[in-house]
Structure 1
Amino acid sequence: MAAPETSDPLVPHPLAMPHTPSPVQQSLAFALVVSSTVVGIAGIDLVLPAVPSLPEALGGSIEEAQLVLAGYSFGTAAGLLVFGELGSRFNRRLLLGLSLLLFALTSFAASWAGGMTELIVIRVVQGAFGAAAAVFAPGLIRALYGDDRAVGAMGRLGSIESLTPALAPLVGVYLLDLGGWRLSFDIIGALALLLALIMAVFGSRLPKSPRQEKGSGGYLALLRDLVFLRYALSQAFSLGSLLIFVFGMPAVLTGSLQLGLSGFVTLQIVGVSAFIVGASSSASAVRRFGAESVILGGTLALTAAFVAMLLYAFAGGSALAVIIALFVVVNFGFGLRGPAGFHRAVVASGADDARGSALVVLGILGTAAGGTALAAPFIALGLAPLVGVAALVALMASASLLLLPALREDLS
């Protein structure tokens, strides 16, 4: 099976709409895509505050309750691959609407779960259905806006998505106090059901699925394509390094650094703000400097910040102000390169953008999970081991850009 000729000069996207939609149509379609991805993300973050109360409500241990989160993540990973394959064969507008309906039904089923094991199994299935939007969103946005405006649209998508992990747990705490742990699942189900109904009415505003050429495409072909791997790996390693750091910092701040969770809240607020500024600047930076320069510059900036933080940790530094200052550079760097990097990965996958997007998101999840597991045994030793793992992964992102071939034509 031959790899797609992604290094050739670019041609119009195979999903491209035959006519230019009006700004109102674009905004409605964009809102629908964004809302679908946010609901999938909320499947973890909105439920997160309820996890400690699950053993008392359903029986079992707190370790089993953590599987309610892990099961969703496992289901998401499987769903990425499944929907990546289905999206390359069937109408993705229909698949997105159907996935939202099934996501809603599994959310309601989770609300009615009578035991921990039952809830965990339902969460695996729910996570799989929640993966569809993440697979289809990048290709749909590229087709909706065209290559010249897709980076800006992806920057807006990333900015909105970045707010979900910050705000959804706060809403989850309120819902837990208001109606117990089941209410979060009911709210998620109701939102997904509403989106499924909107898809049934307005789904035609989204671009159609591309035609797949016989004998082309497939995950193996993409994994053999060095141009695609350049963008997929750099995207996965860049965001993965950031997530590894974020996942480990609560334990570091409350443990060896003795700074408390309030420090983590400050770190997150400042970090998300810096990311939004970077993502909002990405499109204009691409127009001025070119996509490749922006992707490389943002990646080198976040890598340098992590290396500087590692040197600071080795020197015995622990001041939260210094950590936050360097974390601002990490987030701004990824915000700057993230939208352009994901867009180039979609471009490099050609008509296989559903599979391509699935592999990129799966790479992000796998990198974050693997790096977190690698740092976990040493997390009690302080800041250096956690930042060391994050810096190593960031260096891998930079190496992917420096060693692997780029697309021949720059979409500036």
Structure 2
Amino acid sequence: MTRMLICALLVMGTLLGLAGIDLVLPALPLLAGWPGGDAARAQLVIAAYVVGAMAGMLLFGTLAARFDRRFLLVGAMAAFGVLSGLSVLVTDLDLLIVLRAGQGLAGSAPAVFAPGIIRRLFDEVGAMRALALLGSIEAIAPGAAPLAGAALIAWAGWQAPFVAIALAALLVLVCLTAGLGILPGGRVEKRQGGSYGRLLRDPVFLRYGLSHGGVLGGLLIFVFGAPVTITAGMSGSMGDFVVMQAIGVTLFAVTANLAGGLARRFGIERMISIGTAMAFLSGILLLIFGWTGGGPVWMLSLLFAPMNIGLGLRGPPGFLRAIMAGGGDDDRASALVILFITGISSAGTALLAPFITLGLPALTLAVALVQAVGLATLILLPRLPD
């Protein structure tokens, strides 16, 4: 029961960090109408949050070696709530962008600490199941949060999402403070000489981190580019995209929650390999579909399905093995894996942007190349010793 309560606290904190992006998205058109504002500057409200979160991941990964993780979590949630509350009071877009960068930095703490804490609470299979549950909830949140944000704005204006985030942060802060005694305490014990540089030079860590980043990064590149491709290049609608996403998220959630039992039966490395190969196969099938003239929009859901299943099968065991490959440097390893995912998906989307008008051929080529990188790192780099 204690372990489940800890997991619930970590889920609450992680979801709050995600809400900082997804719940605020519907407010961007209103923020663009502020004095001196425009659509491009309004986008910086999201971009600043993402940049702050990336910096926060590196920062908290380092701080965990020097300070008690429990107090870092509480302090980060307190700062997150204060910055969210201050965002309601401002009327200057530049000041809001600065506050959002700080908000993203503070909100990244639970995502960095959660995998390492979970690893220490459970055995391998139990940790995979806990990570699968966390990943399933995180996968659902981006679809549900913008709808909730739009409803809040329609009810109470652009400030409503920020008020909701501030109140949720207060709730999480109270829960974390009340549960401080059950959270694993102390500083993280790390291998002597632990650093980001050591991890980036470690081929075993890179095997798991980059392959995970390639599989999930390739999937996200496809998701980010699919709306334009479906509506502009395939005469589809956003309804088609929503259906594809709903099918994909469902398949991921189901297979991710089965991954622990399957890994126990067939082996962790085998599940990582099968999942990575399925994601690569999906990328190749989409590439063939795109470069042979395409077809009905519903085919995307069919061809995209193996990528979601593959991520579900390899996601929890792959992430866990990446943390284990950190040699005790759990929080830095977790931060780097998340940064690999964010960096690959962001860079791929940015590089694809000038060619997105070419439609499905350009999008599927980018996805297939990234999935190939994920598979190649898994094949070429050494695995974690049994």
Partners of 1:374 and 1:389 within 8 A in 2: no
| Candidates 37, 46, 71, aligned match of 2:14 | 37
Deviation of 1:148 after TM superposition, in Å, equals 3.4
Report Cα offsets for 1:192-238 as digits up to 9, x if no partner.
11111111111221212455358421111111111111111111111
Provide the C-alpha distance between the structure 1 equivalents of 2:5 and 2:189, rounded to a whole number of angstroms.
27
Task: Give the residue type in structure 2 aligned to 1:397.
Answer: G
Alignment correspondent of 1:359: 336
Deviation of 1:118 after TM superposition, in Å, equals 1.0
Alignment correspondent of 1:384: 361
Q: Secondary structure at the match of 1:255?
A: helix
Matched, 1:146 2:123: yes
Q: Secondary structure at the match of 2:375?
A: helix
Deviation of 1:146 after TM superposition, in Å, equals 2.6
Matched, 1:122 2:90: no
Task: Label 1:260 to 1:400 Cα distance change in 2 as closer, same or farther (>3 A).
Answer: same
Gap runs ≥5 in structure 1: 1-23
Aligned positions, number: 386
Report Cα offsets for 1:231-254 as digits up to 9, x if no partner.
111111111000101011111112
Alignment correspondent of 2:259: 282
Provide the C-alpha distance between the structure 2 equivalents of 1:83 and 1:232, rounded to a whole number of angstroms.
18
Task: Label 1:214 to 1:234 Cα distance change in 2 as closer, same or farther (>3 A).
Answer: closer
Provide the C-alpha distance between the structure 2 equivalents of 1:211 and 1:49, rounded to a whole number of angstroms.
39
Provide the C-alpha distance between the structure 2 equivalents of 1:354 and 1:289, rounded to a whole number of angstroms.
28
Deviation of 1:139 after TM superposition, in Å, equals 0.4
Partners of 2:189 and 2:328 within 8 A in 1: yes
Alignment correspondent of 1:265: 242
| Candidates 141, 150, 153, aligned match of 1:164 | 141
Matched, 1:223 2:197: no
Task: Label 1:342 to 1:309 Cα distance change in 2 as closer, same or farther (>3 A).
Answer: same
Identity of aligned residues (%): 44
The two structures, once aligned, show a CA RMSD in angstroms of 1.2
Q: Secondary structure at the match of 1:204?
A: coil
Give runs of aligned pairs for residues 327-366 of structure 1, distance below 5 A. Answer: 327-366=304-343
Task: Give the residue type in structure 1 aligned to 2:233.
Answer: S
Partners of 1:80 and 1:128 within 8 A in 2: yes
| Candidates 70, 73, 89, aligned match of 1:96 | 73
Alignment correspondent of 2:110: 133
Deviation of 1:112 after TM superposition, in Å, equals 1.3
Deviation of 1:316 after TM superposition, in Å, equals 0.3
Report Cα offsets for 1:156-211 as digits up to 9, x if no partner.
11001111001101101100101111110110111111111111111221212455
Provide the C-alpha distance between the structure 1 equivalents of 2:54 and 2:230, rounded to a whole number of angstroms.
29
Task: Give the residue type in structure 2 aligned to 1:257.
Answer: M
Alignment correspondent of 1:10: none
Partners of 1:236 and 1:367 within 8 A in 2: yes
| Candidates 291, 294, 298, aligned match of 2:271 | 294
Task: Give the residue type in structure 1 aligned to 2:379.
Answer: L
Deviation of 1:334 after TM superposition, in Å, equals 0.4
Moved over 3 A (4+): 209-215
Partners of 1:47 and 1:169 within 8 A in 2: yes
Q: Secondary structure at the match of 1:88?
A: coil
Alignment correspondent of 2:351: 374
Provide the C-alpha distance between the structure 2 equivalents of 1:211 and 1:119, rounded to a whole number of angstroms.
34
Matched, 1:396 2:373: yes
Partners of 2:256 and 2:316 within 8 A in 1: yes
Provide the C-alpha distance between the structure 1 equivalents of 2:341 and 2:385, rounded to a whole number of angstroms.
25
Task: Label 1:184 to 1:212 Cα distance change in 2 as closer, same or farther (>3 A).
Answer: same
Q: Secondary structure at the match of 1:287?
A: helix
Matched, 1:76 2:50: no
Alignment correspondent of 1:4: none
Provide the C-alpha distance between the structure 1 equivalents of 2:327 and 2:162, rounded to a whole number of angstroms.
37
Q: Secondary structure at the match of 1:203?
A: coil
Task: Label 1:377 to 1:128 Cα distance change in 2 as closer, same or farther (>3 A).
Answer: same
Gap runs ≥5 in structure 2: none
Report Cα offsets for 1:40-69 as digits up to 9, x if no partner.
011100111111111224541011001111
Alignment correspondent of 1:11: none
Deviation of 1:284 after TM superposition, in Å, equals 1.0
Task: Give the residue type in structure 2 aligned to 1:365.
Answer: T
Provide the C-alpha distance between the structure 2 equivalents of 1:368 and 1:283, rounded to a whole number of angstroms.
26
Give runs of aligned pairs for residues 49-68 of structure 1, distance below 5 A. Answer: 49-57=26-34, 59-68=36-45
Partners of 1:159 and 1:275 within 8 A in 2: yes
* TM norm structure 2: 0.98
Provide the C-alpha distance between the structure 1 equivalents of 2:330 and 2:346, rounded to a whole number of angstroms.
24
Provide the C-alpha distance between the structure 1 equivalents of 2:238 and 2:122, rounded to a whole number of angstroms.
41
Provide the C-alpha distance between the structure 1 equivalents of 2:190 and 2:377, rounded to a whole number of angstroms.
29
Alignment correspondent of 1:3: none
Task: Label 1:162 to 1:213 Cα distance change in 2 as closer, same or farther (>3 A).
Answer: closer
Asked which structure has the greater RCO (Cα within 8 Å, sep 6+), the reply is 1
Alignment correspondent of 1:204: 181
